Amino acid sequence: MHGSEAGTASLLFGLNPMWAAAILFLITYVVIMSEKINRAIVSLLAAGLMIVLGILNQEAAIQGIDFNTIGLLIGMMVIVAITRQSGVFQFMAIWSAKKVNARPWGILVMISLVTAVTSAFLDNVTTVLLVVPVTLLITEELKVDPYPYLFAMIFSSNIGGTATLIGDPPNIMIGSATGLTFNDFVHHLAPLIVVIMAMVLIPIYLIWGRRLRATPEARERVMRFNEREAITDYRLLKYCLSVIALVITGFVFAKALDLEAATVAMTGAALLLLLANLGRDAEHQSEHVLDSFKEVEWITIFFFVGLFIVVHGVDSTGLLRLLAEKMVNMTGGNLTATTMVILWASAVLSAIVDNIPFVATMIPLIKAMAPTFGGEQGLLPLWLALSLGACLGGNGTLIGASANLVVAGFAERAGQPIRFFRYTLLAFPIMLLSIAIGMGYLYWRYL
C-alpha cells in the first residue's frame, strides 16, 4: 500500500496495516462517543496501541502531532486564565445590559453579541463560563425566564467562534493544517457570521423575545448594578488588555512576520505571566504560575495529542486517501457537490458527535483531494465548508459542543434545566437554517 513513508515499524500478528488501523480507529471513535471512558484516556490509549501494534513508530507518531494547534490552545488558555481574574467579562455583560436600559429583549441581544465577540477570540467554554453567571443573575433580578437567554448564548458562542482562526478548535486545526491565516478566516468567514448571527436572532425573537417583559422596579434593580465594581484589579486588567491586543496584532501580521499562531499565543502567554507576577517573590510566583497552568484544559490537550497520533496512523496506511478517492468518485469530482456534501455532513455529524475527532479525520482526507481540484488552492471552499459545518453544527443538540453542556450545567444547578429534547426540537432547525445561509454564501462567493 501507500504510506510506508511515515516510518512503519514491523507489524504485529502479520495484520494488514490498513485493516489494523481502521479497526483501531473505529473502536476509538465508538468508545469516545459512548462517553463511558474519559476521552483523553481513550485517545492516548489508542495512540499507544497505534505504536505498539506497529502501525507507526514513535518518531512518526510524534510527527503526527500538530504542535501548532497544541501551542495555540495552551497559550490562549493561559491568557484567558489570567484575564478572567480581572472581572472584565462581567464588566462587559453588565455594561451592555445597562446600555439598553435593562430592557429584557435588548439584554438578550447585547448578551448574545458580547458572547459572540468574546467567543471569536477566546475559547467558547471559557466565554460561557464567564458570561452565564452574570446573565443568570440579571434574569433573576428581572424576574424573566432565563431559558431564551441561555439558548441564545449557546448559539452565539458557537457562531462567534466560527468567525476567526482562534475562535473554535476546528478552525485552529484547519488553519494549522492548511496555512490559512487569522486574516484569511476573518476575510472569508466573518461577514457570513454577522449575517448568520442576525438571522438566528429572528426566530429567537419570534418564539420568546416579543413576549419578554420586566417590571420597571426589576429593571431599576439591574440599572443600579455598578459595573465598575466588577473589575477586581485595574492594574491586571491593563496588562491583560495590552497583551490580548498585542496577540491579536500578532495574529493579523503573522504571515508578514513569518510567525506561526502558536508562537504568537505562547509568547503572549509568557509575557502576561511575567507582567501578572511582577513584584511577587519567587515562592508566590510559583504558586500563581501553577494556578494559571492548572486552568489549562489538560483533558482537551491530551485528547488532541492522542487523536493526532491515531489519525496520523490511519492516514499513514493510505486508508484516508482511499476514502477521499471514493468520496470524489461519488460526487463525480465536482467541487460544488463535494463542498455541499462536506458542509451538510459535517453539520449533522457535529451536532451528534464531538467535532474535534471528526475534523482531525477530515483534514487529511480533504488534503488528499488536492489533485482532483487543481492543487491546494482549489480546496478553499472545502475547508470553509468543513469549518462552517463543524462549528455551526455544534448548535444542533445539547451535546453538539462542550459549551452547550457547560450552559446546561449552569441551568441545571439554577433549577431551570435545559431538556435535551426540548432544546433539539428548536435548535436543530435553527442550526439547519444557519447552514443553509452558509451554503448560499459558499455557492455565491466560491463556486
Partner 1 sequence: MNARILMNPKPMTLRPTDTVAVAANQILKHHLRHLPVVDEQGRYLGTFSIYSLLKLTLPKAVLDKYGLDKVSFVTENLGDLAERFAGRCEEPVKNWVNIHEVAGPDTSAMDIMLLMLHGRTASVPVVDKTSKQLEGMISFWDVLEKLMAEKV
Cβ nearer to partner 1, comparing 138 with 180: 138
Footprint of partner 1 on residues 30-69 (CB under 8 A)? Answer: none
Footprint of partner 1 on residues 217-246 (CB under 8 A)? Answer: 221, 224-230, 232
Footprint of partner 1 on residues 70-109 (CB under 8 A)? Answer: 85, 87, 90, 94
Task: Confirm or reject binding of residue 413 to partner 1 (CB under 8 A).
Answer: yes
Shortest gap between Cβ of 49 and partner 1 (angstroms)? Answer: 35
The count of chain residues that interact with partner 1, using the rule CB under 8 A, is 25
Helix axes of 17-34 and 39-52: crossing angle, nearest 10 degrees: 170
Shortest gap between Cβ of 152 and partner 1 (angstroms)? Answer: 17
What is the C-alpha separation between 105 and 207, in angstroms, rounded? 12
Q: Output DSSP code: residue 210.
A: G
DSSP 321-381: HHHHHHHHHHTTT-HHHHHHHHHHHHHHHHHHS-HHHHHHHHHHHHHTTTTTTTSGGGGHH
Shortest gap between Cβ of 90 and partner 1 (angstroms)? Answer: 7
Shortest gap between Cβ of 230 and partner 1 (angstroms)? Answer: 4
Shortest gap between Cβ of 146 and partner 1 (angstroms)? Answer: 9
Residue in 239, 302, 410, 423 binding partner 1, rule: CB under 8 A: 410
Cβ nearer to partner 1, comparing 137 with 353: 137
Footprint of partner 1 on residues 265-324 (CB under 8 A)? Answer: none
Q: Are 344 and 435 in contact (CB under 8 A)?
A: yes
Shortest gap between Cβ of 85 and partner 1 (angstroms)? Answer: 8
Footprint of partner 1 on residues 118-177 (CB under 8 A)? Answer: 129, 133-134, 136-137, 140-141
DSSP 51-105: HHTTSS-HHHHHHHS-HHHHHHHHHHHHHHHHHGGGTHHHHHHHHHHHHTTT-HH
Q: Output DSSP code: residue 8.
A: -
- Residue 304: name the closest of 94, 69, 36 by CA: 69
What is the C-alpha separation between 224 and 435, in angstroms, rounded? 40
Q: Which residues form the interface with partner 1 (CB under 8 A)? A: 85, 87, 90, 94, 129, 133-134, 136-137, 140-141, 221, 224-230, 232, 409-410, 413-415
